[in-house]
Amino acid sequence: MRKKIVAANWKMNLTLEQGEQLVNDLLGAGLQLPEGREVVIAPPFPYLLKVKQLISNKPGFFLAAQNCYSEKSGAYTGEVSAEMLRSVGADFVILGHSERREYFSESNAQLAKKIDLALANGLKPIFCCGEPLEVRKAETQNAYVAKQLAESLYHLDAAALKQVVIAYEPIWAIGTGLTASAQQAQDMHAFIRAELAAKYGDAVAQDITILYGGSAKPGNAKELFACPDVDGGLIGGASLVAADFAAIVQSF
Ligand code: PGA
């Protein structure tokens, strides 16, 4: 059975003090996390160690970074490596978020290198894919996402691919208040799973957790998570409010 995951992507928000408060509020929210359910928190880099301390020994809680660099180590001022992230206790790393692709020009090829470094260092990548509005309007979103998957993931063997979590985040839905409808999310998730099945076989594809991201909130999470191929969410704005994020976690 594939895991159900709800991940909090804080992006570039909150002070350390606010972040600590948010984690403590979540830990105090009495979340029910049966076997196979995971909560992943992705704070900014400077707070990773602190959040790790707060969630250590809390079953079902895991730590993610929001990015890592595409080289192993060396003279890359300001960058952070996968090995560093693992050394401070990160379990996951978000890679290929559309904001990274857009503002930092990350390409599918560079992301393939990041995926390899993450996996080599024992980090599970949360690989983001998703189309911009003009692609959705032209109804070519399936081909667009298929290319992202092929160019960043298909060099992996099946065992490596099984470490990857995929997050489908239509760019037009991120931070805009426009959520994909449950049907739009399900259609794309089923398409992604079918693509993975064609490449890796159905058993592997059935094992891959595919998250939805883009203006997910307490009011729409139940409907999204009820879709057979939606295995949870990558939550931005609503992850900054403990009660909202807790409600989303409890929406399965
Ligand atoms: P949002 O962000 O929930 O604020 O739309 C989701 C994401 O970018 O991961």
Residues 35-62: tens digit of each pLDDT: 999 999 999 999 999 999 999 999 999 9
The pLDDT assigned to 178 comes to 82
89-129 pLDDT, tens digit per residue, is 999 999 999 999 999 999 999 999 999 999 999 999 999 99
Q: What is the largest CA-CA distance in the chain?
A: 48
135 alpha carbon to ligand 1 midpoint, in Å? 19
8-26 pLDDT, tens digit per residue, is 999 999 999 999 999 999 9
The pLDDT assigned to 130 comes to 98
In degrees and rounded to multiples of 5, residue 172 shows phi and psi of -70, -10
Q: Say yes or no: CB of residue 9 within 6 Å of ligand 1.
A: yes
Helices marked H in 72-107: 82-87, 98-103
| Residues with Cβ within 8 Å of residue 134, at least 6 apart in sequence | none
Give the nearest ligand 1 atom to 128 CA. Answer: 9
pTM value is 0.98
Residue nearest to atom 2 of ligand 1 (CA): 236
Residue nearest to atom 6 of ligand 1 (CA): 236
3-state percent breakdown (helix, strand, coil) of the chain, nearest 5: 45, 15, 40
- Confidence grade of residue 217 (pLDDT, cut at 50, 70, 90): very high
Helices marked H in 104-175: 108-120, 133-137, 141-153, 158-161
The pLDDT assigned to 124 comes to 98
Q: Say yes or no: CB of residue 169 within 6 Å of ligand 1.
A: yes
Q: Say yes or no: CB of residue 237 within 6 Å of ligand 1.
A: yes
Pocket test residue of 67, 171, 217, 235 for ligand 1, highest count of atoms within 8 A of CB:
235
The mean of the pLDDT values for the chain is 97
Q: How far, in Å, CA of 171 to CA of 213, rounded?
A: 9
Closest CA to 191 of 140, 138, 153: 140
- Confidence grade of residue 214 (pLDDT, cut at 50, 70, 90): very high
- Confidence grade of residue 226 (pLDDT, cut at 50, 70, 90): very high
| Residues with Cβ within 8 Å of residue 216, at least 6 apart in sequence | 179, 224, 233, 234, 235, 238, 248
- What mean pLDDT comes out for the span 188-197? 98
Residue 177 reports pLDDT greater than 90: no
Contacts of 196-199 with CB under 8 Å at 24 or more apart are 196/149, 196/161, 199/154
The pLDDT assigned to 167 comes to 98
Q: Which CATH architecture has domain 4-250?
A: Alpha-Beta Barrel (3.20)
Catalytic residue numbers?
97, 169
| Structural contact between residues 60 and 37, judged by C-beta atoms closer than 8 angstroms | yes
Which two three-digit tokens encode residue 181? 């409808």
Q: Say yes or no: CB of residue 174 within 6 Å of ligand 1.
A: yes
Q: Say yes or no: CB of residue 235 within 6 Å of ligand 1.
A: yes
Q: How far, in Å, CA of 162 to CA of 127, rounded?
A: 12
Give the nearest ligand 1 atom to 239 CA. Answer: 3
Measuring CA to CA, how many Å separate 229 from each of 97, 130, 193, 210, 215?
20, 16, 8, 7, 18
169 alpha carbon to ligand 1 midpoint, in Å? 8
Distance between terminal CA atoms of the chain? 15
176 alpha carbon to ligand 1 midpoint, in Å? 9
